[in-house]
Amino acid sequence: MSAGIVFHLLAALAYTVLAVTLWRPLRNEADVLGTVSTGHVRKICLAGAIALHGIALVQAIVPEHTLRLGWALALSAAVCLGMIVFWLESLVMRIDGLLLVLLPASALTALLAALFPATHLVDHAGNEWLRVHLLIALIAYGLITVAALQAMLMTALDRQLHRPVQAEANRTTLDRALHSMPPLLVQEVLLFRLIWIGFAILTLTVITGMVVSLRLTGLALPMDHKTIFTLLSWLTFGGLLLGRYTRGWRGRIALRWTLVGFAFVLLSYTGSRFVLDVILR
């Protein structure tokens, strides 16, 4: 068993334990707080889990000075980078309730990376521009992944707010979890901050990708599936930010555009590799 698999399993276990400690109090009616708080100890433990996740990625992506990627590994890297962004944001904003969703998602992606460790050697791995491009692309991927998870959470919270108010005794664990989330306005501020930064880095991804493509193939925009879906994602998020600036888009419109943009990002690499590696083998 490789070191990458071992550390991914350890990271999945750490995320799972942290998720259980946050979800368990929500099962008890008398122990429900207004918000979920991680506290200093949990923040340190979360940093440790993210560190395990990062070590797993380094061991899997750059073994013996090579460069390898796979669909599960790319998804794992995106979520890990997204968790780093969340951890830094949590130092200045009270958004601990989002961990109720982020921790299970992180545990799942780390577990998938351990269960599907198959990777392929990246061509031209010694090219410095290619390494920079991949790093920037994974950062953009991570930011957009966290933004999409938050958009899903905000959609569920918006639906809950439009339901009749239920007595505490009739609330499910999921209802209590949604009740403990940060206010929608706070989440919307964070969502658009992630989208703005993610769009800027996605723009750098497109630019560096054009440079790499010109150096290796002589074509600035080769019309393969990665280029097409990346450009569609870039246009989607650009349209969302333009609509936000000119027409004040928010709420359900913003959430739908975010999820569509994330779907294009997902299809640009992970989706295609999943089809090739798992379905078509």
Residues of the chain with pLDDT under 50: 30-34, 167-170
Determine the longest span between alpha carbons in the chain, in angstroms.
66
pLDDT at 177: 67
Classify the C-alpha dihedral 175-179-185-188 as positive or negative.
negative
Please tell me the pTM assigned to this model.
Answer: 0.79
Eight-state DSSP code of residue 181: S
pLDDT at 167: 47
How far the first Cα of the chain sits from its last, in Å, is: 21
pLDDT at 33: 44
pLDDT tens profile 56-66: 999 988 877 77
The residue written with tokens 């913003």 in the block is 254
pLDDT at 30: 47
d(CA 220, CA 243): 29
Per the DSSP assignment, residues forming a β-bridge with 121 are 68
Residues 6+ apart with CB under 8 A from 4: 56, 57, 59, 60, 63, 113, 117
Number of domains comprising the chain: 1
pLDDT at 176: 66
Find the domain containing 178 and state its range: 3-279
pLDDT at 147: 87
